[in-house]
Every structure is written in C-alpha cells, then in structure tokens.
Chains A and B, each alone.
Chain A
C-alpha cells in the first residue's frame, strides 16, 4: 500500500470525532491488480481516493485482506487502502478487538492534514475498546479465497497446492480448468465450508438448505432434530457449524431462543455459528 485511501464509506464516526477529517479527494485510474480478483471486472475505470500521507511511494504500508474481515462483530473497517497487490476493499486501517492497525507507514510530519486528524481520532476511538479482546481469531480461510485461489490453479505449480486446497476429487475433475473450478464454487458460494480443503456442503443441500451462514439455517437444523428422517444429519451439521453439544432437541431450542439475537456466523473464525457475549458490544 502506498499513500492513499479510497474515498468511499467515510461515514464512520472516526472521521468526525473529535476532529473533523476533511480529505482532499482526487481521481486515479483503477489499479490493474484489482481486476485480477473476484468482482474486479465490474469496477469503474477510475476511483475516488485521498492521500493519508505524502511519501510519494507506491509501497511501504500494508493492507489486510477484506475477505471475512467483518464476519464477526469484533472487527470493523475504517479505511480501504489503495494498494498494488491485493483486492479492492483490502483494509488499510481497521480494528479487531482492542487493536487498531494503522497500515500506513509515515510519521505525522509526513501525513496530510486529514491523515493526521484521522490518526488522532483513531487513538480516541480505540480507547473505547480497552478490555475488549477479539471474539474470534483467524483459524480458517474465508470462502471467497476458494474462488480467488481456484482462478490460480494454472499459475501455481506446487503439486501440493491443488490437492491441499481443493481436494483430490476436484483435482481429477478440474485440473487445467480454472474457470470450471471457479464456477463450481460460485454456484454454491453460500454452501462453502472448510474441512482441510474448501468443500461444498452437500448434506445441507440435500436438506434443501441453500446457505450455511444464515441464522435461519441454524433454526432449521434445530427443528430437524425432531424429524426422525433427518435428525442424524441435522445433528452432524450442528456439530460442524457450532461449538455446542447439547443432547436433547429441547436444549438446543432453549439455547437458540436465549441467544438468537446475538448469534453470528464466521468463516474466518472456523465456519461456526457463535454467540456474542452479553455486554461485549457495549463500549465506553
């Protein structure tokens, strides 16, 4: 990442409290690297950006991948970094739990006025999350990486890559056919999960369920525990997608009713439905 941030989505309060951040916007040609990522072909020819710092370098700072960044309520994006290696949407300034990562490299004297003000505001903002460690840690790879990596199967020569990422069955079917493999995952994006390799959840699909990350799926699986024909599959799927191990359907139902307003699904945190602890989202 170089000096700039993207100019969209500046409605976060960190752009106005306590100092008003007033970026000077400019337009740049959309970086070529953005085109290589899923959705990159749909980006406009030019993009609105603003300079956070003035080093004049295209490299030096760092962005985090956007995929799954906000799939848990302990993380948020503050600024999208203009970069020459990753996707559009990669995170230049972001928070995960009590830590705010400022991906730009320059000291204050080389920041722009708007960059300095944003930096001050970030310090004020992170104060509120003192004591609020992360809810999840990176323990798995987000499903969008299945699509991103599928597009690269012809370019990555390491023999272990294909089998290790997608499995031997798919290697037989899609070796040398990146478009086919991309389409395979695109067709069932909401059913992708990870068990050593990226998989499509055929068991969920057999139950007529089209997403493994919607809370209503969890409710449906719990209801199926009382259906003799599907109870065993439902139990297996609940073990796959939760960290709970209740025996009786009534206990599952009780747990769900008690927590349903605080349940979220995270790919990055292990393809699980998890519960936000009471009070976690209250800030100082």
Chain B
C-alpha cells in the first residue's frame, strides 16, 4: 500500500514536471514569435487583403502599424524593425514605391509587385 502511494506521488510529480516543461517550451516559442519586433505594413489600406495581413501580423508581432503603399517613401521605415511592402500580390503594372539603392532597411516585398520593386533596384530577387 505504501509503495503504491509512493509510486502514485512519483507519477504525479513526473507528470507535473512534464506539463511545466511543455508550458515553458510553448511560452518560449510564443515569446520568440512575438518578440517585440516593430512591423510597418505598407499596403493598399481599406482592402480585404490589407486587413488579412494586418490581423495576421497582429497575432504574431507586438507592434504593427500601417501606411499606404501608394505613398510609401523610405523615411517611413524609420522606427520600425521590418517593413512589408505589399500591393495586391499579382498586378504586373502595380506602381512601384520610390526607393533608391541607398535604402537599406530590413524589408519584405511580396508577389509580382515585389519582384518589380526588386527589378527596379537591379536585385537578384527581381523578375528576370
């Protein structure tokens, strides 16, 4: 009987440790995923696509702000860790924001309009 109770306590303790370890691990991953990066989303505001992106980014990053893709200029990236330049993903004739080769802020470009931006900058990530 005593052995059985002792075994039960050991099992309970082990399970508790496992649960704590799992919780710690999950929390760690979540903290890392929302590690305080400041994100600027430059998109076609007031569209479903922009809302889709912003809702998603809000889930994963602590600070997400938006600006209009059509009037984006390099100086708007100041104060942000990463800028996301997004038009509609597919338009081959999308306008390209006026950024120069001096622009060196961490940036994600998206889809065909993104490749066009890269082409304009003569980057390897460009369309051709």
- Give A contacts to B, CB under 8 Å: 17-19, 60-62, 64-65, 68-69, 75, 91, 94-109, 116, 120, 122-124, 126-134, 137-139, 268
Evaluate contact between A60 and B124: CB separation under 8 angstroms: no
Chain A CB count within 10 A is highest, among B48, B89, B105, B114, for B89
Q: Please, what's the 1-or-0 string for B96-128, where 1 marks a CB less than 8 Å from any CB in chain A?
A: 000001111111111110110010011111111
B70 at the interface (CB under 8 A from A): no
Known: A65-B128, A108-B56, A127-B81. Is A99-B107 also a contact (CB below 8 A)?
Answer: yes
Distance in Å from the Cβ of B40 to the closest Cβ of chain A?
A: 11
CB <8 Å contact, A75 and B56: no
Q: Is the CB of A107 within 8 A of B127?
A: no
Docked-complex contact A64 and B39, CB < 8 angstroms: no
Partner of B109, one of A75, A91, A100, A108: A100
Docked complex: B21-79 residues within 8 A CB-CB of A: 29, 32-33, 35, 37, 39, 48-49, 52-53, 55-56, 60-61
Q: Which single member of A104, A107, A132, A139 contacts B53 (CB below 8 Å)?
A: A107
Q: Which residue of A lies closest to B77 (CB)?
A: A130
User: Contact between B101 and A133 (Cβ–Cβ < 8 Å)?
Assistant: yes
Chain B residues proximal to chain A, CB less than 8 Å: 29, 32-33, 35, 37, 39, 48-49, 52-53, 55-56, 60-61, 81-82, 84, 89-90, 101-112, 114-115, 118, 121-128
B91 nearest CB neighbor, chain A only: A105
Q: In the complex, are the beta carbons of A123 and B112 less than 8 A apart?
A: no
Q: What is the CB-to-nearest-CB distance from B66 to chain A, in angstroms, rounded to a whole number? A: 14
Q: CB distance B90 to A98 under 8 Å?
A: no
Would B52 and A109 count as touching, CB distance under 8 A? yes
What is the distance, in angstroms, from A106's C-beta to the closest C-beta of chain B? 7
Contact: A105 with B89, CB < 8 Å?
yes
A102-B111, A107-B53 are known contacts; what are 19 more A-B pairs with Cβ within 8 Å?
Answer: A61-B89, A61-B112, A64-B118, A95-B125, A98-B104, A99-B107, A99-B109, A99-B123, A99-B125, A101-B118, A104-B110, A106-B89, A123-B37, A123-B108, A126-B107, A126-B108, A130-B106, A131-B104, A133-B103
- Cα separation A130 to B74 with both chains bound (whole Å): 13
Question: Considering residues A100, A109, A116, which has the most beta carbons from chain B within 10 angstroms of its beta carbon?
Answer: A100
Select one of A95, A104, A123, A132 contacting B84, CB under 8 A. Answer: A123
Report the nearest B residue to A108, measured CB to CB: B56
**Contacts of B102 on A, CB cut-off 8 Å?**
133
Cβ–Cβ < 8 Å partners of A99 in chain B: 107-109, 118, 121, 123, 125
> Complex formed: what's the CA distance from A200 to B108 in Å?
38
Q: How far is the CB of A99 from chain B (nearest CB, A)?
A: 5
Residues of A within 8 A of B61 (CB): 123
* Docked CA distance A212–B127 (Å): 27
- A96 & B111 in contact (Cβ 8 Å cutoff): no
